[in-house]
């Protein structure tokens, strides 16, 4: 089955700096704990953030539902979306297409909702190019042995799939230096605190505060003295 390369994606840069929500790109070798960290964060802050639901051509795993974990589509449908320029990025991961739709993220950012992209390093590169204001976070496991233990413990992939993910882990990890932030997910609560700190810092950036507190700043700078 032929897989298209992503050269067909338009190179226009989306200006997300006018939005008060922040776009977070989160990558990790499979099993490092990225989905668990995102889930835990969303449980704490359900109204302030969401995960962008990707489209994929892979089969749903037991318990995964269309529209919640992914939009599960066939190869032909995915390629029609590529042709319609519907993706901000897409990539071939583990022999399947995965992609992030533009509409999905821009709507939330414009409403001040932070959006997490759980995407691999190839997708991260594409998004960074098009949306340089995005913050990128790389999650690392404390060791390769622990990474394998977590994939086994998760109990969702058979041993051949786990072996393939372990084989790809170091290639994924080698891209750590393309990211703004690194979290070593050893103690889960400490990692969750680190994630919170990054998100809080992003929300306090001057450019966002200037939009959120436009009226206050105008009042503080007005010449009228009380
Ligand atoms: P996990 O990594 O074991 O949680 O497995 P998943 O099936 O949830 O994700 C597999 C890989 O696909 C991960 O590396 C994700 O970061 C990546 N991925 C998921 N969605 C997207 C997407 O929309 N774009 C890109 N580029 N990568 C994605
Ligand atoms: P990813 O989304 O990066 O593939 P998951 O979030 O599915 O990873 O985590 C893989 C497994 O590791 C899950 O069973 C999860 O409960 C477990 N896990 C995640 N973080 C930790 C941690 N800090 N310590 C121990 N186990 C963890
Ligand atoms: P899984 O099949 O385990 O759900 O995902 C496999 C890999 O695909 C993960 O590394 C995940 O981050 C990545 N992935 C998931 N969705 C997307 C996406 O929309 N775009 C890209 N580029 N990668 C994705």
Give me the pLDDT at residue 9, please.
Answer: 44
Task: Dump pLDDT digits (tens) for 166-216.
Answer: 999 999 999 999 999 999 999 999 999 999 999 999 999 998 999 999 999
Q: Are 126 and 189 in contact (CB under 8 A)?
A: no
CA of 120 to the centre of ligand 3 (A): 6
Using CB distances shorter than 6 Å, the residues near ligand 2 are 28, 30-36, 150, 153-154, 185, 188, 191
Specify which residues 54 forms β-bridges with: none
Specify which residues 101 forms β-bridges with: 87
**Average pLDDT by stretches of 10, the chain with 226 residues:** 54 68 95 95 92 94 93 96 93 90 87 92 92 95 95 89 91 96 98 97 93 95 77
**Rounded to two decimals, what is the model's pTM?**
0.82
Residue nearest to atom 5 of ligand 1 (CA): 30
120 lines ligand 1 (CB under 6 A): yes
Please tell me the chain's helix, strand, coil percentages from 3-state DSSP, rounded to the nearest 5: 45, 20, 35
Beta carbons within 10 angstroms of residue 49's beta carbon: 19
Ligand 1 pocket test, candidate residues 23, 28, 30, 68, most atoms within 8 A of CB: 30
Task: Dump pLDDT digits (tens) for 208-219.
Answer: 999 999 999 999
**How much is the ipTM here?**
0.72
Q: Is 95 left (phi over 0), alpha (psi -120 to 50) or beta?
A: left
CA distance 17 to 153: 40
In the chain the domains, ranked by start, together with CATH numbers, are 9-52+113-225 (3.40.50.300)
Give me the pLDDT at residue 188, please.
Answer: 98
């Amino acid at each position: 089955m032929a897989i298209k390369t992503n050269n067909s994606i338009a190179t226009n840069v989306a200006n997300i700096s006018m939005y008060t929500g922040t776009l977070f790109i989160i990558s990790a070798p499979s099993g490092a704990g990225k989905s668990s960290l995102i889930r835990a964060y969303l449980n704490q802050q359900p109204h302030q953030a969401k995960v962008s639901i990707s489209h994929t051509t892979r089969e749903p795993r037991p318990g995964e539902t269309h529209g919640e974990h992914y939009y599960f589509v066939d190869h032909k449908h995915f390629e029609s979306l590529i042709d319609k320029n519907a993706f901000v990025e897409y990539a071939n991961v583990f022999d399947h297409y995965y992609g992030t739709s533009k509409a999905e993220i821009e709507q939330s950012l414009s409403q001040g909702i932070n959006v997490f992209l759980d995407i691999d390093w190839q997708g991260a590169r594409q998004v960074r190019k098009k949306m340089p204001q995005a913050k990128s976070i790389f999650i690392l496991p404390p060791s390769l042995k622990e990474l394998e233990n977590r994939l086994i413990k998760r109990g969702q992939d058979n041993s051949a799939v786990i072996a393939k993910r372990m084989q790809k882990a170091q290639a994924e990890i080698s891209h750590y230096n393309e990211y703004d932030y690194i979290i070593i997910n050893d103690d889960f609560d400490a990692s969750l605190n680190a994630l919170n700190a990054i998100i809080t810092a992003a929300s306090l950036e001057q450019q966002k505060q200037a939009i959120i507190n436009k009226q206050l700043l105008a009042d503080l700078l007005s010449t009228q003295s009380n």
